């Protein structure tokens, strides 16, 4: 994207201004960015994508995306209880800001979920291809951040041809790419749509950019406190089939119970909500495995009995665990062997 930005007449100083990278304008012009670490590459990639998107919008006679537009989208995604809710709310936000972020729609095709992104571009250009691909990576990274773990990708779809994609000279992506597709976006296992959103608005200032274009799935710096609590809790459920007490979690993190409770509340979270989130996530995973009975799953989630699990599950998803499992198996059977396998690029 660096060479594309320079070819578009964007000045190196505009790209590097304020980033604080160990890189001069001549280094950028000569393509000498290989010594940058993953965090610096993400910063540079994010800046390039933002500048290219602004220039593309202006060239097309459209208003560029403004910081408030982006914040509306972020807060809408965070308002979802599950990934499905988040994507649907994000689509509503795109409509509410008059398409300045394009359109986002969710499609469920049996066992496959699809996030379709339409940038509303009037034509097909190399800059548009680069900006749209970065948009796909950014939305996928946001979905992963919302879940607290990387959302598995099945394929990336681009409504651009092979020649234009090759001109980006990306050196290959770690996922199958479907080119000349009828839509732009990405697909993933639909069962992930029921996974809970574990992030809150208070974590936005410390959010690290995630993108499969720049060092997929890495996390820099200390995890937010709520995420540390969540990881300890779900690890205990997985390994020992029990929820640790709040006092145990506090001791593991080296904090007193009142201090940890206060910090979670300041971040808009609580140990009760974190426990429910962990039980939902692991419960869906165990149901998909198919070989465990409802009674076994209830025990592994540290419910007092299977009836308590059934009541909780119906409250989360509006259906019984058996009904969820039956619908998931039917969807997988309906699509098994029918989906075209894209060429691995």
Q: Return the pLDDT at 120.
A: 86
Instruction: Answer for the pair 132, 184: CB distance below 8 angstroms, yes or no.
Output: yes
pLDDT value of residue 3: 54
- Do 164 and 132 touch, CB atoms closer than 8 A? no
- Per-residue buried b or exposed e for 72-104, using 16+ beta carbons within 10 Å of the residue's own CB: bbbebbbebebbbbbbbbbbebbeebeebbbeb
From residue 202, give the alpha-carbon distance in Å to each of 25, 226, 229, 266, 305: 36, 11, 16, 8, 35
> Judging by DSSP bridges, how do beta strands 185-189 and 177-178 pair with one another?
unpaired
What local confidence, expressed as pLDDT, does residue 336 receive? 53
HEC readout, the chain: CHHHHHHCCCCHHHHHCCCCCCCCHHHHHCCCCCCCCHHHHHHHHHHHHHHHHHHHHHHCCCCCCCHHHHHHHHHHHHCCCEHHHHHHHHHHHHHHCCCCCCEEEEEEECCEEEEEEECCCCCCCHHHHHHHHHHHHHHHHHHHHHHCCCCCCCEEECCCCHHHHHHCCCCCCCCCEECCCCCCEEEEEHHHHHCECCCCHHHHHHCCCCECCECCCCCCCCCCHHHHHHHHHHHHHHHHCCCCCHHHHHHHCCCCHHHHHHHHHHCCCCHHHHHHHHHHHHHHHHHHHCCCCHHHHHHHCCCCCHHHHHHHHHHHHCCCHHHHHHHHHHHHHHHCCCCCCCCCC
pLDDT score, position 119: 87
Q: How far apart are CA 149 and CA 143, in angstroms?
A: 9
The residue whose two tokens read 């041809």 is 161
pTM of the model: 0.65
The answer to whether the CB of 309 falls within 8 A of the CB of 298 is: yes
**Dihedral of the alpha carbons of 199, 148, 88, 107, in degrees to the nearest 10:** 180
CA 224 to chain centre: 17
Q: Tokens for 30, please give them.
A: 């000569």
Task: Determine the pLDDT at residue 235.
Answer: 84
- In the prediction, which pLDDT does 221 show? 34
Structure confidence at residue 228 (pLDDT): 82
Place of tokens 């509303």: 120
Q: What is the pLDDT of residue 10?
A: 58
* Predicted pLDDT of residue 48: 67
Q: How many angstroms separate the CA atoms of 16 and 22, rounded?
A: 10
- The pLDDT of residue 305 is 95
pLDDT tens digits for the chain (345 residues)? 455 444 455 555 555 565 555 555 555 545 555 555 555 566 666 666 676 666 666 677 777 778 888 899 999 999 999 999 999 999 999 999 887 788 999 999 878 999 999 988 777 888 788 888 888 988 999 999 999 888 888 889 999 988 888 877 775 666 788 888 999 999 998 889 999 998 888 888 878 777 777 643 343 334 578 888 888 898 889 888 999 999 999 888 778 899 899 989 988 889 999 999 999 988 988 887 778 899 999 999 999 999 999 999 999 989 999 998 888 777 666 655 444 334 333
């Amino acid at each position: 994207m660096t060479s594309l930005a320079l070819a578009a007449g964007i000045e190196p100083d505009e790209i590097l201004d304020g980033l604080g990278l160990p890189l001069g304008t001549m280094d950028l012009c000569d393509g000498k960015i290989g010594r940058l670490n993953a965090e610096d590459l993400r910063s540079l990639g994010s800046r390039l994508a933002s500048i290219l998107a602004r220039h593309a919008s202006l060239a097309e006679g459209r208003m560029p995306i403004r910081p408030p537009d982006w914040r509306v989208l972020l807060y809408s995604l965070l308002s979802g209880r599950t990934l499905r809710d988040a994507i649907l709310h994000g689509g509503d936000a795109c409509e509410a800001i008059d398409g300045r972020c394009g359109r986002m729609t969710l499609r469920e095709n049996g066992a496959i979920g699809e996030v379709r992104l339409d940038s509303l571009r009037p034509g097909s250009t190399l800059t548009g291809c680069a900006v749209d691909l970065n948009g796909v990576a950014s939305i996928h990274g946001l979905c992963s951040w919302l879940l607290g773990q990387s959302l598995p990708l099945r394929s990336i779809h681009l409504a651009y041809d092979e020649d234009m994609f090759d001109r980006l000279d990306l050196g290959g992506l770690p996922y199958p790419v479907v080119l000349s597709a009828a839509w732009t976006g990405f697909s993933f296992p639909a069962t992930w749509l029921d996974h809970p959103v574990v992030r809150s608005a208070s974590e936005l200032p410390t959010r690290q950019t995630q993108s499969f274009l720049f060092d997929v799935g890495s996390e820099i710096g200390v995890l937010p406190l709520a995420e540390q609590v969540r990881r300890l809790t779900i690890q205990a459920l997985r390994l020992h089939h029990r929820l640790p007490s709040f006092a145990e979690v506090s001791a593991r993190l080296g904090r007193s119970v009142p201090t940890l409770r206060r910090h979670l509340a300041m971040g808009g979270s609580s140990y009760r909500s974190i426990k429910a989130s962990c039980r939902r996530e692991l419960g869906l995973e165990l149901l998909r495995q198919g070989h465990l009975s409802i009674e076994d799953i209830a025990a592994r989630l540290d419910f007092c009995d299977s009836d308590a699990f059934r009541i909780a599950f119906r409250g989360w998803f509006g259906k019984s665990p058996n009904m969820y499992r039956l619908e998931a198996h039917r969807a997988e059977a309906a699509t098994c062997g029918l989906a075209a396998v894209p060429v691995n690029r």
